[in-house]
Amino acid sequence: MSEPGALCIVIMGVSGCGKSTLACAVAARLALPLIEGDELHPPHNVALMAAGTPLTDADRSGWLQAIAQALAGAAQGPGAVVACSALKRSYRDRLRAAAPQLRLVHLAGEPALLAERLRARSGLHAGLAAAQPAADTGAAGGRRIRHHAADHADTGCAGGCGVRERCAGSPVIDARTFRLDGRLALVTGSSTGIGLALAHALALSGATVVLNGRNAARLEQARASLAGAALPVHARAFDVDAAPAVQAAVADIEDTLGAIDILVNNAGIARRGAFHELAAQDWRAVMQTNVDSAFTVSQAVAQRMVARRRGRIVNICSVMSEVGRPGTAAYMASKGALKMLTKDMAIDLGPHGITVNGIAPGYFKTELTAPLVGDEKFNAWITGHTPVGRWGELRDLAPVIVFLASDAAAYVNGHILVVDGGMTATL
């Protein structure tokens, strides 16, 4: 990527001026992500606006930081189009520092229309505050977007209202469909390998990610690698096998960073050995990390998601949820169990606005599989049994996790999406 960064456009104006409609059209025309800046207000600001209290510079600081953070990440990628309220000069300067290639567009509106919309907006904020769950203490972002639909119901929208709940006449797919702006994602076992790749993909799509692992030093390296790319990332070192540690960590994350919108259960281990020779402690260790931890973390997070009536949970299963190889009894049993746990979670949590799906990766190139990739005989077996003729690359998983975490997968629930190059389709 060449300096000074990708083009970012901020379209601003008072309520009712049509900024969201224009921003959506510009984003679609330029094939850029759309960020609804006004939906990044924290709950404190929403409460103040509901009470008719003007926001001070201090109140707006966190909101501006969220927009600046989103712009900084977008500037490192494809760029973005942002729709937000009118900004005074000092605010604009703050955003320019985050995205050097920033272009600002200020829209005006008819005074009578603006007055009418502002009166309607005061009622919206009151309803919005009433709908805000007490436990949701993080950035507003996409966590309250569905409540904004009423604000745009009278705009005659043809696809540019800027809310994720599609209004009549909006396109099925637009620049926002796969965006995760304003959402918080916890990815377990994300210090390296597949977990880190999944977290990276979610962050590139706009989510704030929380990395997890047992090794604090390795976890910090992973966090620094994403932070170095101007991506919104945090790290929490805790043992997913220990229920008290999980409960404390989830509470801390929600108290300090906000509500967890997306959970990815990726933590897992393997212990090889023929069934009749497998040590009991190895069996228990694999089942505890691969199955019990998914249950423990999911339950701690889901109990909070149920209260909010929204959420996405993705369990990382395996092709060995479906097929097997010699010497993998514990791993096969654990991944098969995780597959069925995923389906039950989807059944029980679906009525509460939470979707639960799984990803079943095939054989992927990671640090852990490097010796197998270098094994000429095993490598030939993999490429020979995979119709596409190669190992999976971590980039092959990125669009899959983003899809399942996004609004595009709102009606996908209880599904195990196999990503194996066709391996399980063959004999």
Cβ-count burial 304-317 (b if 16+ within 10 Å, e if not):
bbbebebbbbbbbb
Region of residue 37 (phi > 0: left; psi between -120 and 50: alpha; otherwise: beta): alpha
Which strands sit side by side in the sheet containing 208-213, from one edge to the other?
233-237, 208-213, 184-187, 262-265, 311-316, 354-361, 416-419
Terminal CA-to-CA distance of the chain, rounded, Å? 43
Cβ-count burial 102-132 (b if 16+ within 10 Å, e if not):
beeeebebeeeebeebeeebeebbbebbeeb
- Over its C-alpha atoms, the chain yields an Rg (Å, rounded) of 23
Give residues with Cβ within 8 angstroms of 137, minimum separation 6. 43, 254, 255, 258, 259
C-alpha dist (Å) from residue 249 to 211, 315, 316, 410 = 12, 19, 21, 27
Q: Is residue 411 annotated as part of the catalytic site, yes or no?
A: no
If one counts every other C-beta atom within 10 angstroms of the C-beta of residue 424, the result is 16
Whether 291 and 334 have beta carbons less than 8 Å apart is answered as yes
Give percent helix, percent strand, percent coil of the chain, each to the nearest 5. Answer: 50, 15, 35
Active-site residues: which are they? 331
